[in-house]
Amino acid sequence: MKQNIDPKLDLVLERHAAVSPALVWKAWTNSKHLSQWFAPKPWTISKCEIDLRPGGKLEFVMRSPDGQLYPNLGCYLEIVPNERLVWTDALLPGYRPSAEPFFTAVLDLAPDGKGGTNYTAIAIHRDEDGRKKHEAMGFHEGWGQVYEQMIEFIATNKL
């Protein structure tokens, strides 16, 4: 479904990529690729598991420069190849409600008609506090930085 955005509750990152939706999709949906670019450097991804189907697992562990580990576990909700990827931490794999729901993420990819991609990432929160907390954690900086890392990863690795 087309995502309705509520500016009080949601955060949005929009970019225009010179690479195709298919390449962006590949970078996002293969754990070997995702783990290479999804943490804003000098952070790294120390574990990444993807079971790409509705209700399937998305798990990753972010590692800070001093070695602290930040685990994330959720599940995929919608998978429309090269177009739309939705996942949430409000549900664990198999759709079990989670103990600490924070947000649902939507990645929308649209061809720009010239071989590139109109790229939109949306973070959907339960309430205004959730949105503000995520904003203060650096949503725009972090998601903006990993977007750049993804573009570089695609170029360097000739996906």
Which residues bind to a copy of itself, rule: CB under 8 A?
1, 3-4, 9, 53-56, 77-78, 86, 88, 90-91, 94-99, 101-104, 106, 124-127, 130
Q: Toward a copy of itself, which CB reaches closer, 35 or 125?
A: 125
State the nearest-atom distance from the C-beta of 96 to a copy of itself, in Å. 5
From residue 35, alpha-carbon distances to 41, 71, 79, 117, 145 in Å are 12, 13, 19, 22, 14
State the nearest-atom distance from the C-beta of 52 to a copy of itself, in Å. 11
State the nearest-atom distance from the C-beta of 31 to a copy of itself, in Å. 18
Q: Toward a copy of itself, which CB reaches closer, 9 or 22?
A: 9
Q: Toward a copy of itself, which CB reaches closer, 1 or 136?
A: 1
Cα–Cα distance for residue pair 89/144, rounded to 1 Å: 21
Q: Toward a copy of itself, which CB reaches closer, 77 or 146?
A: 77
State the nearest-atom distance from the C-beta of 64 to a copy of itself, in Å. 25
- Comparing CA positions, the residue from 109, 113, 136 lying closest to residue 122 is 109
State the nearest-atom distance from the C-beta of 129 to a copy of itself, in Å. 11
Cα–Cα distance for residue pair 139/76, rounded to 1 Å: 20
Q: Number of helices (H) and strands (E), helices first, in the chain?
A: 4, 7
Q: Toward a copy of itself, which CB reaches closer, 13 or 45?
A: 13
Question: Strand, helix or coil at 47?
Answer: strand
| Residues 105/121, Cβ–Cβ less than 8 Å | yes
